[in-house]
């Protein structure tokens, strides 16, 4: 998996808006209840904004009430990677695109069945391809 910090900073700054760069490259978080896909009901595949990797399908999206689009499972466990995040002085699990290492959001163990997981994802890091 490529390390996004070794990729050309100029390349990403040219390709992404400042908000996309902050979230996808610098592991930022968009404000709650502000994302484009929070209330989207369209059927389709949510792809990585940076590389187009298929990440989540709308069939696994649910309203978590947290202010970010939430999914109970990725399309394929090989489409995302996780790592520990202590940036807020609490242990969280960060989610990245497995193909390009773009920051997507976090995963929590308080989601619905059958997985019990809540992938809390920044809209800015996604691009919806409608069915």
Which residues does the annotation mark as catalytic?
A: 120
Contacts of 103 (CB under 8 A, 6+ apart): 23, 24, 25, 26, 27, 28, 94, 95, 96, 122, 125
**68 φ, ψ to 5°?**
-130, 150
Query: If we measure between CA atoms, which residue out of 75, 39, 28 comes closest to residue 55?
Result: 75
Q: Is the Cα torsion angle 88, 18, 7, 94 positive or negative in sign?
A: positive
């Amino acid at each position: 998996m490529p390390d996004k910090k070794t990729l050309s900073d100029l390349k990403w700054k040219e390709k992404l808006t400042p908000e996309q760069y902050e979230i996808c490259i610098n592991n930022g978080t968009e404000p709650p209840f502000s994302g484009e896909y929070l209330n989207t009901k369209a059927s389709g595949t949510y792809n990585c904004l940076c590389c187009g990797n298929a990440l989540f399908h709308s069939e696994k999206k649910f309203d978590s009430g947290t202010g970010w689009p939430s999914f109970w499972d990725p399309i394929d466990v090989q489409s995302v990677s996780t790592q520990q995040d202590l940036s807020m002085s609490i242990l969280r699990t960060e989610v990245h695109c497995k193909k390009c290492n773009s920051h997507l959001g976090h995963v929590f163990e308080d989601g619905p069945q059958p997985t019990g997981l809540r992938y809390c994802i920044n809209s800015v890091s996604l691009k919806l391809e409608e069915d």
